[in-house]
Amino acid sequence: MVSASDTLFGIELEDKQGEDTKEELKRLDLNKELKKKLLKFCRLKYGEIWEDPIHGHRVGVLDATKLDDVNKILRNAKTKLIINDPPYNVVVGNKNTENLFKINLEKYLDFSRKWVENAISIMDKDSHLYIWLGSDYKDNFEPLPDFMVMMREFNEVKPRNFITLRNQRGYGTQKNWMWVRQELLYYVKGNPKFYVNAEYTDIPKILRGYYKVVNGKLTENLERGKSKYIRAGNVWVDIQQVFYRMEENVPGCYAQKPLKAIKRIILSATQEKDLVVDFFAHSGTSLIAGEILKRKIYTFDIDPVYAEITIRRLENFRKTGKTGWQWGNPFPEIVTSNHFYQPRFSALDLCKY
């Protein structure tokens, strides 16, 4: 029974009586013991690729810095769009982990050069490259400005825009502005088509003004516009940050990107049946967006657990129509409690998985 319901950006958020709404699966990159135990439920090992028998998507356990790995999943294909969300080299949630790590800047830039070079090698002659990145104000805003300077080494791609996604929650102190931004770098190769209709938000235009005479008639901006809705521009304020009460939430994945943001990028750069590539699958958002929008997705992650979550998220979406697990568990084989886990099924039952 629903006891309360809220709405954020058109998203229904429900609290249910008697139901524990805490995430059953906590942040996986903080719990090495649990992650090791989840490996037995992962269908892929390093170097292996899962192929979707329905729409031809591919999910692999591969290394973004190794060209042979990238070519293994692409198989000579070229893509019109790459959306990459690499580790930011910023300590996330005050924790330095193997998935969300902070290393020496030069090592991080060396890591970045390798995967950027590999990404460019599979881009079509006219194509788009989007890169999510962060900055650490406690460490001279690394690595964002350093990464942007590094990108000048690659003459094949040119910067097109610098987008900011505004979070609804952030971090800060009483002595500083709240940090609520995520940065998205946009580069292009050649002269790709941009489908501008994707830029329109769900926010209606409400301000009238900027009067101008057109064909002898005095008009205002709402009359002259191509849509009754405002355009997103390069500061996105209309997208809800993912949190545990949203259906698309994937418990265990700390740095999840909003599905709406990924869909906006895909719609702006591709058409149905086009290929989209993501080198850092993590929670599988690119795959779900591609499935919804009828694009083919090739994605991979160096971590088998996140590759498995990505596959399961697609399977769960096809079975239930839900884009995530909200506060549920992507691994129903186990029940978690703090730093311990308990099998939900018997050993005989586990043989079915």
The reply to whether 114 falls in a domain is yes
Q: pTM for this structure?
A: 0.84
The reply to whether 260 falls in a domain is yes
Count of beta carbons in the 10 Å neighbourhood of residue 156 = 14
The reply to whether 241 falls in a domain is yes
The reply to whether 24 falls in a domain is no
331 contacts 54 by C-beta, under 8 angstroms: no
Long-range contacts (CB closer than 8 Å, 24 or more residues apart) made by 138-143: 142/89, 142/90, 142/105, 143/88, 143/89, 143/90, 143/105, 143/108, 143/109, 143/112
pLDDT at 351 over 60: no
The total of structural domains in the chain comes to 1
The reply to whether 214 falls in a domain is no
The reply to whether 82 falls in a domain is yes
How far, in Å, CA of 222 to CA of 147, rounded? 40
pLDDT tens for each residue of 131-146 = 999 999 889 999 999 9
- Any idea what the CATH number is for the domain that residue 91 is in? 3.40.50.150
The reply to whether 97 falls in a domain is yes
pLDDT at 212 over 90: no
pLDDT at 175 over 50: yes
**Residue 274 is part of which domain span?**
44-200+232-328
Average pLDDT, rounded, for the chain = 85
pLDDT tens for each residue of 264-291 = 999 999 999 999 999 999 999 999 999 9
**What's the mean pLDDT in 322-346?**
69
- Residue ranges in the chain assigned as alpha helix (H): 32-38, 67-74, 105-121, 144-150, 221-224, 259-269, 285-293, 304-320, 347-350
133 contacts 163 by C-beta, under 8 angstroms: no
pLDDT at 210 over 80: no
The reply to whether 280 falls in a domain is yes
pLDDT of residue 22: 74
